[in-house]
Amino acid sequence: MKRKIPWLRRLQNKVSLFDRGPNTYYGDRAETYVLDRQEDSRWGREDEIVTEALSRLTPRPKILDIPVGTGRFFEQLSSMQAEVTAIDISKDMLRIARASAARHESANTSFKMSAAHKTQMGTGHFDAILSIRFIGMLRPRYAQRVLREFRRVLKRNGTLVLYFPIGQENVPAQIVNHVSDMTPGQFYGMMEGVGFKALSVHPAGSNSVHDYFIAEFQRS
């Protein structure tokens, strides 16, 4: 008799066809996620850029935080009185994010376990989407599916605040395995192809392999 696979495992297996990175953020890796990264010089710079980007949104915006991770930006979002939908595929990250929401009294926050390419949220529902430290680890074809879903759930002229890496080596398009391998031309071409226009781009740091950026994109 064939053993049935729980729905969450089926979902994780489906996503792993495109991207294995997010499937690792469970258990101890979820618990130590912030501690492992907050000493990185990029971490503080990212906080500054995101805070500035959020300050330009309309009052009390509807925001999709995806993947929400540990709820890193809940303090800023709570101060804005934002209506937040927090989505992640990791149940452990969601558990930590719920605790963060409670600490910051983010009462107007709902949580949902889902893959990024199929949020099951309403079309044109959000004023803005916040997506940090995610898109670069995706394979390009899956990234396009995710970005199309982001475009679908954003209002027209809505804002996507997106963190992304750009490789310092020029990798031929036919052997680009992840978004992080893309050249600037390849990346911005992908964004325009799915319906996003860059409004502003902010350097967020670099290492020996990648340059990192946070940009505000407008949905066409």
User: How confident is the model at residue 15, as a pLDDT?
Assistant: 46
User: How confident is the model at residue 174, as a pLDDT?
Assistant: 59
Q: Where are the domains of the chain?
A: 7-219
As beta bridge partners, residue 205 has 212
User: How confident is the model at residue 39, as a pLDDT?
Assistant: 72
Q: Kindly list the strands in the beta sheet with 83-88, ordered across the sheet, starting from the edge strand earlier in the chain.
A: 109-113, 83-88, 62-65, 126-131, 154-167, 210-219, 196-206
pLDDT of 40-81, one tens digit each? 778 899 999 999 999 999 999 999 999 999 999 999 999 999
How far apart CA 41 and CA 207 sit, in angstroms, is: 10
At residue 120, what is the residue type? Q
Segment 89-114 mean pLDDT: 92
pLDDT of 164-193, one tens digit each? 999 877 766 656 789 999 999 999 999 999
Read off the DSSP letter of residue 21.
S
Q: Class for domain 7-219, per CATH?
A: alpha beta
Phi, psi of 76 (to 5 degrees): -65, -45
